[in-house]
Structure 1
Amino acid sequence: MAAVESRARADGTAGAEVPSLAGNPLLGSLFDLKADSLGTYLRARAQHGDVVRVTAGPPGLRAELYCVFSAEGAQQVLAAQSANFRKDNTFYQEIRDSFGNGMLTSQDEDYLRQRRLVQPLFTKRRVDGYAGAVADETQATLTAWEQAPGGVVDVSDGMMQLALRAVARILFGTDVDATVDVVDRCFPVITEYVLRRGYSPANVPRSWPTPGNRRAAAAMDELYAVCDRIIAERRGAGTADAGPAEDLLSLLSAAGSTQDGEFDAAELRDQVLIFLLAGHETTATSLAFSLHLLGLHPEHQARAREEVVRVLGDRTPGAADLERLPYLTQVLKEAMRLYPAAPVIGRSSVAATEVAGHAIPAGADVIVAPWVTHRHPRYWPDAECFDPDRFTPEAEAQRPRYAWFPFGGGPRACIGQHFSMLESVIALAMLLRAYEFEAVDTDVPVSAGITLRAEGPMRCRIRSLGG
């Protein structure tokens, strides 16, 4: 192993040489990453520590990933030295080419302008106003589950539909059904295309008429068309006598300032697509795994339900109830620790940098991995155990800020994190009050896509509690 003392290196970087994960002499860790990237990252940390180099691909097309696993290293990459770590890698470019240059993928002045225009629409007061829409869509899910065959539901599918309908309703108001149908049909095609190209060492141009390119282009055309139609209708409708519409698209259309102007139609579509992508898959993942884990741990489920019934009684939860349901919030945070919706976050280094005492060269692909940091034994004893009491205020105060970062961090932290927590707490409270959950699928394999994905069903047997 390389010497650990800090030193100046020939390429201008400072710090110790980064240890490498052993792999195939010809292809590195390519097959390991394809088979189980999250497990490969866990193994890299366990064998080599908090900064590890992982290679993948044949000579000449080989990718090198500099993996940063400590909380302190994640804070440096995402926050303290965020200007040195950009979204310039191939994976983000593929998302950009498919879903547009919205807030997830934009950079520099584009990002700053978008953030300034969008930020007023994500204040706590504004987001709290969406609580009623979330409660309505949760009630629709509860009603649908009354007819579940054999009393068994796939909570992964159920939460994906709930979260998609909630974000579509908040974005589009009354245009929910047509939008949800198109997103259901087109998103899987596009996301698989992004993943395949994002992780491939070489790709043919998108313009070539290959079957994969043609399928993806057709899905993008359909998705873009429905967004463009709704945007055009909003912009043509103007302000009704009853006052301006309160759906997010109407507010985005009206957003503007002397400094930043306003969004044109193409920019609006980019924001809408990113909000649809990031706004439903992430929350759905958190909710589904919360139910799965509670279905495996009836003692925690009973404790959470007791709090919900005691605080809410029979009334519909609202935004003010988030602070009144601390244990339920702890359950969600612990589920997001074990199953972070964004398990891996990528960046590209602008200049040679020392991270956690190790030399990262300029132009390197760098990843931080909530999946690994959330299991780091330095911060999380018995890390695979589900224990919501890890998130009492006292316990949280004892850990580094970036020991838990499911929403990213620094200046690029998720703008919708308050909405995600609002939606998750309201939905989980209503679901637990209505049903008792017992996990049928006790082992749910996962993989890292654009977001964390369950590879198979996540079924629970539900029993109505008459609430």
Structure 2
Amino acid sequence: MRDIPGPPAQSDGGLSAIADAGGLHTYQLHLHETYGPLVRFQLPGASSAISVADPVLLEATAATNKRPDKLFEFLAPLCEAGNLQTLPADEHAPFRRALLSVLAGRPSHEAHFPAFTTLATDLADRWAGHAGPVALQQDLSELSLRMICQYALGGGIDDPSRVVSAFETVLTVYLGRLYKHEDDLERAGRALAYLREVVDGVLAADGSELVTALVKAGLSPARVRDSVLMIMLAAHHTTGVAVSWTLHLLSRHPAHAVRVTEEVDAVLGDRPTPSYADLRRLPYLEMALKESMRLYPPGPYGARETTEDLTLAGHPIPAGTTIFYPFWAIHLNPAYWPDPLTFLPDRFTPAEQAKRPRYAYVPFGLGPRNCEGASLAMIEAELVLAVLLKRFHFDPVAHHPVTPVERFVLWAEHDIHMHLTARHAA
């Protein structure tokens, strides 16, 4: 792989280069801007790694079903029965089928839609009575957490704010260890113990569709517990963050915001909330959401490990190589996204989408380990956006920095603060 372009080797395994770039997510942008769509680089936790930012090359690796153990080691503390993120393919397949049976069913989505609408409306009512700006990511992540518990886990939780904060503590500390950062492991341990208490409470609730499916798939009680914890982590982060970035971008692009709100008003009329069927009648809202996930993909990267030799762009890639998927860099590749930093929802008309390769847009990952909850996340996000944009006009707080940082998802470092102006009462 030495003939693949890339930066000079560093004695610290690339840690200083990642730190100097402001994190792995921004380092990937720099690598691909400098060296092209296929880059050889040093990655903590990988003996050899290449990064692929071209969708055509990605397709050659899409069927790979092994995640690098070392790279996902930071999630191991959340899993007492083996790291769910690195399960071998034969163990992962029945687990995935069980998740899809619950999370990907449209009849189930429609059945839960009224409960989701109530939760979204409750948040809008709370915001309507709130004095001063709101913190989007915190509140929307809590809402997403309530939704996944309502949908798949059989009930609610008492203190979603504390759960969101505990997840952030666990991820910040354990992800930091991958980059040799010293942090408070005792604090992370307390947060993790609290999360496990919450999961035990969820598992004690009746009517959990997801737990039933996992048990039928043959998962042990310990692995069921781990699965619930990981699903709570993934589901609340991705949906809440995606909605937050969409509102952030619309607030800074008034013409697009007007188009979305006019569409929402036309479809909903005097109703404060959409029906499940209404979502199909909100194409511009969906396009704005997709474009926001292009510019700020909730998961900024993924990775696989080759289990056999392969060839990419004429370069031999040996088995055991870490293939890094820099989703953010893929989404900003100017060969497929002209003027890539500009927010343009019309990139996602059916005609425009048909012009691009399949893997030019991968907000939920790709291949046999992509996100099982992708369709559910889109429904939740579109519903929440419709409810909030019907009720409020969003204005950014002046001089408040909005800086993307890697916290397992692409998070805004100091949250995203907004002033709200009422448009329509509930």
Match of 1:267 in 2: 223
1:118 aligned residue (84, 96, 99):
99
- CA offset digits 1:116-157 (Å, max 9, x no partner): 33332131211232222221121111111123333x222222
Classify the secondary structure of the residue corresponding to 1:286.
Answer: helix
1:287 aligned residue (240, 243, 247):
243
- 8 Å Cα contact 1:89-1:347 kept in structure 2: no
- 8 Å Cα contact 1:98-1:194 kept in structure 2: no
Q: Does the alignment pair 1:18 with 2:4?
A: yes
Classify the secondary structure of the residue corresponding to 2:71.
Answer: helix
- CA offset digits 1:410-436 (Å, max 9, x no partner): 222211111100001100011111011
- CA offset digits 1:319-339 (Å, max 9, x no partner): 222211100000000000000
Match of 2:12 in 1: 27
2:190 aligned residue (218, 227, 237):
218
Identity within the alignment, %: 31
Match of 2:136 in 1: 155
Counterpart Cα distance in 1 of 2:172 and 2:248: 25
Q: Residue 289 of structure 1: CA displacement?
A: 0.5
Counterpart Cα distance in 1 of 2:209 and 2:248: 36
Runs of 4 or more, structure 1, over 6 Å off, are none
Structure number with bigger Rg: 1
- 8 Å Cα contact 1:78-1:412 kept in structure 2: no
- Distance change in 2, residues 1:264/1:39 (3 Å): closer
Match of 1:141 in 2: 123
- CA offset digits 1:348-370 (Å, max 9, x no partner): 22233222333323322221111
Match of 2:413 in 1: 455
Query: Which segment is superposed worse, 123-132 or 407-416?
Result: 123-132
Match of 2:53 in 1: 69
The amino acid of 2:35's aligned partner reads H
- Distance change in 2, residues 1:253/1:89 (3 Å): closer
Counterpart Cα distance in 1 of 2:184 and 2:202: 28
2:404 aligned residue (446, 455, 463):
446
- CA offset digits 1:243-268 (Å, max 9, x no partner): xx3xxxx22333379xx654332122
Counterpart Cα distance in 1 of 2:87 and 2:46: 26
Classify the secondary structure of the residue corresponding to 1:186.
Answer: helix
- 8 Å Cα contact 1:142-1:434 kept in structure 2: yes
Q: Residue 33 of structure 1: CA displacement?
A: 1.0
Q: Residue 169 of structure 1: CA displacement?
A: 2.5
Q: Does the alignment pair 1:465 with 2:426?
A: no
Counterpart Cα distance in 1 of 2:157 and 2:78: 22
Classify the secondary structure of the residue corresponding to 1:406.
Answer: coil
- Distance change in 2, residues 1:261/1:404 (3 Å): closer
Q: Does the alignment pair 1:38 with 2:25?
A: yes
Classify the secondary structure of the residue corresponding to 1:130.
Answer: helix
- Distance change in 2, residues 1:91/1:56 (3 Å): closer
- Distance change in 2, residues 1:145/1:212 (3 Å): same
Classify the secondary structure of the residue corresponding to 2:87.
Answer: coil
- CA offset digits 1:154-197 (Å, max 9, x no partner): 2222222221222222244443225x255234212211122122
- CA offset digits 1:262-301 (Å, max 9, x no partner): 4332122122111101111011111000000000011100
Counterpart Cα distance in 1 of 2:36 and 2:144: 37
Q: Residue 108 of structure 1: CA displacement?
A: 1.6
Match of 1:193 in 2: 173
The amino acid of 2:144's aligned partner reads A
Alignment of structure 1 residues 341-352 onto 2, 5 Å:
341-352=298-309
Q: TM-score, normalised to structure 2's length?
A: 0.90
- CA offset digits 1:345-399 (Å, max 9, x no partner): 1222223322233332332222111100100011000000000000000000000
Counterpart Cα distance in 1 of 2:70 and 2:318: 18
Count of residues in correspondence between the two structures: 419
Counterpart Cα distance in 2 of 1:166 and 1:62: 36
Classify the secondary structure of the residue corresponding to 1:129.
Answer: helix
1:78 aligned residue (62, 70, 74):
62
Aligned residues: CA RMSD: 2.5
Query: Which segment is superposed worse, 360-369 or 391-400?
Result: 360-369
- CA offset digits 1:96-124 (Å, max 9, x no partner): 33245576443322211112333321312
Match of 2:379 in 1: 422
Match of 1:208 in 2: none
The amino acid of 1:51's aligned partner reads L
Q: TM-score, normalised to structure 1's length?
A: 0.83
Classify the secondary structure of the residue corresponding to 1:255.
Answer: helix
- Distance change in 2, residues 1:432/1:292 (3 Å): same
Classify the secondary structure of the residue corresponding to 1:109.
Answer: helix
Match of 1:370 in 2: 327
Counterpart Cα distance in 1 of 2:225 and 2:325: 29
- Distance change in 2, residues 1:99/1:144 (3 Å): farther
- 8 Å Cα contact 1:89-1:365 kept in structure 2: no
Counterpart Cα distance in 1 of 2:83 and 2:232: 11
Match of 2:267 in 1: 311
Unaligned ranges ≥5, structure 2: none
Classify the secondary structure of the residue corresponding to 1:67.
Answer: strand
